Structure 1
Amino acid sequence: MVRDDLYITVPSFFRCPISLDVMKSPVSLCTGVTYDRSSIQRWLDNGNNTCPATMQVLQTKEFVPNRTLQRLIQIWSDSLTHRVHSPESPTNAESVPSKHQVLVAISELESRTDNRLDSLEKIVHFARDSEENRDFLVRTECFVPVLVGFLDNVNDGTRRSVEFIEQVFTALDLVLCKTEDCEGLKKSMLKKQSSIDSLLLILQQGSLNSRIASARVLKSIAVDVESKLLIAEKEGLISELLNLTTPEQDPDLIENCLSCLIAISAPKRNKMRLVHLGGVKVFSKLLSATNTSVSVTEKVLKLVEAMSSTKEGRAEICEDAACVAAIVNKVLKVSSVATEHAVTTLWSVCYLFRDQKAQEAVTKANGLTKILLLMQSNCSPQVRQMSADLLKIFRVNSKSCLSSYDTKTTHIMPF
């Protein structure tokens, strides 16, 4: 009697496209298709000059050993041996899948449509278990391309469809830090707008963890100016990221969305888009919140500084006295990074562009005292110079209250 638990499913990409047997010595042609060495050599020796799978004419008949696939086949083979010799091992639904089971699940992702969600959940469970498992998945050369391929096929937005795409982003997030070819991943995801549609869908409808995962994936593909512009052009994407950075949201979600916005906002066009979508007001509320972490504060101030480099951003900041006051309040007692971003923004609007409203808001928020105290601290030379520039502005401002410091606090005056 044949035991059901010894039924063996061979991953499809382990089979030679010619012989359909498990490859013993996998080699790749110039077309990128892998065959067993003996099968493809026999094909070429018979006078053929095309790739059997694609029928492309071969520019060269040379092939290279696919060492990665050979190692995976060996791992799979070893796992089968262990499985046969340990039939008494119980199957626990909550246990971490074996490498053999994961390779089968990857094969099912490619070949089946009815049970893909279960297969993907099994793979995610495996990936979450250890660094070694994540390394294994990345070495499985077809895995990441298969995941990215699913992002091109968002269908009706039903709950099951959303759940599947959530698992795709969760899996991508788990292995991205191990992926060396970030440029290739970026090209794959941005080649079709539907990949970004999938990402926006999860930001809008996904669970907390899947939203965090999708934001991290988005940050990972925003690697150059071209990708940043393409991402920002997706209608509703930046707006949704801003919606997810309001004080009432989960702190981890806020932080990851802010990191994503920082990655996207480098081009001037994207900074202006951020301003027009109400970024200043959103960030002002975050800075004014009482429970904002140091890391979130630093990221918000970095974004405010970025927006202050545009004319539109400076106008919004200067019109919002609450925003200026919130920036002033973060000059001290947060971190050196926060101090630098805050002072740079104040220097930009008050000194470089001499905005009267911003100067008045700084004075009203007791900014002069903070700047004076900052100059007596162990701040960087750049921050010290910007602080000195700010003080010069306020000294010549007839409405400034700085004159009181000439008599009462002359011992800390920088000049």
Structure 2
Amino acid sequence: MPMYNATSDGHVLDLETAVKDGILGGDVVCAGVNVTNVEKMDLKKMIQHLDTIEVPSVFICPISLEPMQDPVTLCTGQTYERSNIVKWFSLGHFTCPTTMQELWDDSLTPNSTLSHLIHTWFSQKYLVLKKRSEDVQGRSLELMETLKKVKGKTRVQTLKELRKIVATNESVKKTVVDNGGVSLISSLLGPLTSHAVGSEAIAILVNLELNLDAISTLLHPTKVSLMVDVLNEGSSDTMINCVKLMEVLFNGSEIVPSLSLLVGVLKLVKDRRHPHGILAGLRLLKIISSQKTLGNSIISIGGVPQLVEMLPHFNSECLELALYVLEVLSSIPEGALALKNCASTIPNLIKLLMKMSESCTQYALSILWEICKLSPEESAATAVNGGLAAKLLLVIQSGCNAELKQRSSELLKLCSLNYTSTIFISKCKLTRTLQ
């Protein structure tokens, strides 16, 4: 019987022993499906579908550390993927890569037993996965039929089960969409919908691909109003789902967000316990603030100082989004005034210059420019005392883009207008820098 090297300590096993020892996990039958003709199944396809599972070490090529598809054995008894060992030889090596022994024979012997084991093992796993997928798709269709008939607690429980399988199975998402699931679940959202039903429905919809018709339906004022209510009264997970769904709905759409929506989003952004919620909230705020006519709404509920105070706590991705929003708001007179009146604005922005990405520096400079232009004497003096001039010189001397350098030069000139050259240099402690 053909043999193969199964373990790193050199023990050789045959097919019967491999099955007995559990490498294959028992009989070559999977969930009622006989896999005798496993060679007919495409091994590469199966490996790609099963790339997240733990593969027995005996199936792994020692060179590439990937599952073997065409295993061959050297005279030393070590087995490798054919293409990998051929490449090893082409580089001028005539040794065994694992043992570094000199080869007395460079022939490659196809390891048919191991090849059969690999095909069989992957076939078992693949067919189990496929059957589970088919079973769960069937269950999703049953649940959608149930949703058409039930109400109250039964509806909530049905939605919960559907949410769980939608969130964990890509094939179910397509099945739900292809069988009218988006329309069905959207129909459950309305003025009389309980928050329990609304939370579960939103959690499902956020995982589905929505076409333009579905988005148009979900943008109906009564449905948006329910989402806002759920956002303000739901758990942290529900709040995140609401914001993610509204990001999809509002992107590219003309919207008139209510103040209660903005309050809920800012509440999520301020909750440092949930980083994913902060990111989701800022992404939605970016969409809302991009429609400049809506900026005053964010300003009116105190959004500017809230975002400014959070700047030091944001990661780089969140920081860029927050600065984008603040830059848009700074172009509105009321926004620039709110930024000026917040004591933390100038110190926080100065600290960020040249600390993160060029985009962050550019946004920060634009905001500082609007503030200092609004109140040159007061704000420029505060900025100078906070060390802005030294940071601006650093930007000018750096390798950043020309636009940033130009804006830095303009801001430096604006800050110096109320000082003589000597006093300005002295105040900014720039003597050593200039030298």
C-alpha change, 1:135 and 1:402, in structure 2 (3 Å) is farther
Larger Rg: 2
Give the alignment of 1:176-215 within 5 angstroms. 178-179=209-210, 181=211, 183-191=212-220, 193-215=221-243
Q: Is the 8 A contact 1:245 1:282 kept in 2?
A: no
One-letter amino acid of the counterpart of residue 350, structure 2 = V
Corresponding position: 1:256 with 2:280: yes
Are 2:249 and 1:221 aligned? yes
Aligned to 2:358: 336
- Distance across 1 between alignment mates of 2:196 and 2:287: 27
Per the normalisation by structure 1, the TM-score is: 0.67
What SS does structure 1 have at the residue aligned with 2:308? helix
* One-letter identity of the residue aligned with 2:330: S
Give the equivalent residue in structure 1 for 2:76.
none
The equivalent of 2:384 in structure 1 is 363
SS of match in other structure, 1:236: helix
Deviations 1:108-138 (A, max 9, x none): 1123225222221222122122323222222
CA 1:375–1:167 in structure 2 vs 1: closer, same or farther (change >3 Å)? Answer: same
Q: Spell out the pairing of 1:14-413 with structure 2 (5 A cutoff).
A: 98-114=136-152, 115-140=154-179, 142-155=180-193, 161-175=194-208, 178-179=209-210, 181=211, 183-191=212-220, 193-224=221-252, 226=254, 228-229=255-256, 232=257, 234-246=258-270, 248-288=272-312, 291-351=313-373, 353=374, 355-398=376-419, 402-404=424-426, 407-410=431-434
Aligned partner letter, 1:261: L
Cα distance per residue 1:350-402 (max 9 Å; x no partner): 25x45433212211221111111122222222211111111121232318864
Task: State the 1:305 CA deviation.
Answer: 0.5
Per the alignment, do residues 354 and 205 of structure 1 end up closer, same or farther by CA in structure 2, a change over 3 Å counting?
closer
* Unmatched segments (≥5 aa) in structure 1: 1-88, 156-160
| Residue-by-residue CA offset, 1:157-183 (whole Å, 9 max, x unaligned) | xxxx322211111101111xx33x2x3
Contact preservation (8 Å) 1:395, 1:403: no
More off after superposition, 238-247 vs 312-321: 238-247
> Matches of 2:360 and 2:178 in 1, distance apart?
40
CA distance in 2, matches of 1:118, 1:406: 67
Contact 2:272/2:278, CA 8 A, preserved across alignment? no
Change (3 A) 1:164 1:277: same
Distance (Å, rounded) in 2 between the aligned partners of 1:344 and 1:120: 47
Q: Which amino acid aligns with 1:103?
A: L
Question: Residues 217-265 of structure 1: CA distance to partner in whole angstroms, max 9, x if unpaired?
Answer: 0111113352x22xx1x24111221122225442211211111111112
Q: Distance in 1 between matches of 2:377 and 2:339?
A: 12
Alpha carbons 1:97, 1:122 under 8 Å: kept = no
- Deviation per CA, 1:173-203: give whole Å up to 9, x if none: 111xx33x2x323321222x22122212221
Relative to structure 2, which stretch is displaced further, 392-401 or 111-120? Answer: 392-401
How much is the aligned-residue C-alpha RMSD, in angstroms? 2.4
Q: TM (normalized to structure 2)?
A: 0.64
The 3-state SS of whatever aligns with 1:98 is: helix
**285 and 406 in structure 1: CA distance in 2 versus 1, 3 angstrom threshold:** closer
Q: Is the 8 A contact 2:390 2:430 kept in 1?
A: no
Q: Which amino acid letter does the alignment assign opposite residue 188 of structure 1?
A: T
What is the SS of the residue equivalent to 2:270? coil
Gaps in structure 2 of 5+ consecutive residues: 1-127
Q: What is the CA–CA distance in structure 2 between the aligned matches of 1:225 and 1:358, rounded to whole Å?
A: 37
Which stretches of structure 1, 4 residues or longer, exceed 6 Å deviation after superposition?
Answer: none
Distance 1:320 1:360, change over 3 A: farther
In structure 2, the CA distance between the partners of 1:361 and 1:154, relative to structure 1 (3 Å rule), is farther
- Rounded Cα–Cα distance in structure 1 between residues aligned with 2:348 and 2:306: 12
Amino acid at match of 2:340: C
Q: Secondary structure at the match of 2:242?
A: helix
Q: Displacement of 1:96 after TM fit?
A: 9.7
State the one-letter code of the partner of 1:138.
V
Which shifted more, 240-249 or 262-271?
Answer: 240-249
Cα distance in structure 2, aligned partners of 1:254 and 1:97: 37
SS of the residue 1:265 aligns to:
helix
Q: 1:224 to 1:292 in 2, by over 3 A?
A: closer
CA distance 1:95–1:164, shift in 2 (3 Å): farther
Segment of structure 1 superposing worse, 357-366 or 299-308? 357-366
Q: What is the aligned-residue identity percentage?
A: 21
Q: Does the CA-based 8 Å contact 2:189-2:198 persist in structure 1?
A: yes
